[in-house]
A and B are shown apart, each in its own frame.
Chain A
Amino acid sequence: MGQLAAFIVLSIVTLAAAVVVVGSGNIVRSALSLIPTFLGITGIYILLQAEFVAGIQVLIYAGAITVLILFVIMLTEHGSGVRFRQVNEQVPLGMIVAGALAAFLIATFVTTAWPTSSGALPQYTASGVGTTFMTNMVLVFEATSLVLLVALIGAIVIARRER
C-alpha cells in the first residue's frame, strides 16, 4: 500500500515535469525541468530495488547531461529562446501519433498476461551488478568503454573551432 502511494507520487512528479519539458516555450525552463523528471525516475528505480542504477542516474543524467544541455543552450540561443517559435507545424499530427501510441501501448500492457517470477532480488544489487559486468558481460563492458572513448574524441573533433 505504501509502495503504491510512493509510486503514484513519483509518477506525478515525473510526468508533470516531463510535460513541462515537452511543452514549455522557454527552452531553459524545459532543460531545468529535466532535473525533477530524472529525480522522479531515480525514485522509481529505488522503488524497484535498483539502488546502483539510481545513483548512476543522479550522477549522469541529473548532473552531467542536464548541465551539458544548459551549456549548449547558452552557447547557441543566447538565452531562453522565447523570441523564436519553438514548435513546427506538426503539433496536431504529433499529438495524434503520441496519443495513439500511448493508448495502444497501455491497452497492450493491461491485456497481456505477463509471466511473473516469485523470486526476489538480492538485498544489495550493486555487488551483483559488478560481478555480472566482470563475468558474463565483460565483452559488452569493454565494447561500451570503447564506444565511450570514440564518442568523446568525436565530440571534441566535431565541436572544435576550425582555423
Chain B
Amino acid sequence: MQLGLVHFLILSALLFCLGLYAVLTRRNAVAILMGIELMLNAANINLVAFNKYVAPAALNGHVFALIVITLAACEAGVGLALVLSAYRNLETVHVDEINVMKW
C-alpha cells in the first residue's frame, strides 16, 4: 500500500474532530484555546498535503500554512491576554461562569 493523499486527510480529520471535541466540552478557556490550536494544525496538514499531491509546481500551500501559523500565534496571544483580563476582573477562567452579559 502506497502512502497517498487520503492518509493525510484522514489524520487531519481525526485531529480536527479531537479539537472540536475539546472546544465543545472543556470549561477552561485555556483548554478551549488548545482545542483551537489542534484544529488549526489539522487545517495546516491539509494545506501542505494538497500542495504535495495536487499542485506540486506552486508552493502556495506552504505559504498558506505559514500564514495560518502566524495568525494562530496572533490568536493565541490575544486570546490568552483576554483570558488573563477575564480572570483579573471575574476571578474565573471557566467559560460557563463568565455570564455577566447574559440576560
- Write out the residue numbers on chain A whose beta carbons fall within 8 Å of the beta carbon of B88: 161
Determine the interface band of chain A, counting residues with CB < 8 A from chain B: 35 or more
Query: In the complex, A85 Cα to B6 Cα: how many Å?
Result: 38
**Known A88-B96, A99-B17, A117-B53; contact A21-B59, beta-carbon cutoff 8 A:** no
Contact, CB under 8 Å: A27 / B24: no
Contact, CB under 8 Å: B3 / A7: yes
Is A9 among interface residues, defined by CB-CB distance under 8 A? Answer: no
Who on chain A is nearest to B2 by CB? A4
Contact, CB under 8 Å: B17 / A98: yes
CB distance from B81 to the nearest CB of A (A): 4
Contact, CB under 8 Å: B54 / A90: no
**Known A4-B2, A76-B30; contact A144-B63, beta-carbon cutoff 8 A:** no
Q: Which of B3, B30, B53, B66 contacts A69 (CB 8 A)?
A: B30
Name the interface residues of A84-106: CB closer than 8 Å to any CB of B.
84-88, 90-91, 93-95, 97-99, 101-102, 105-106
CB distance from A74 to the nearest CB of B (A): 10
Q: Supply 30 A–B pairs (Cβ within 8 Å), ascending by A.
A: A4-B7, A7-B11, A15-B14, A15-B18, A18-B18, A18-B19, A19-B18, A22-B38, A31-B30, A44-B8, A53-B48, A53-B62, A53-B66, A56-B69, A57-B44, A57-B69, A69-B76, A75-B87, A84-B27, A86-B27, A86-B31, A98-B18, A101-B20, A102-B16, A105-B9, A105-B17, A132-B62, A151-B78, A155-B81, A159-B85
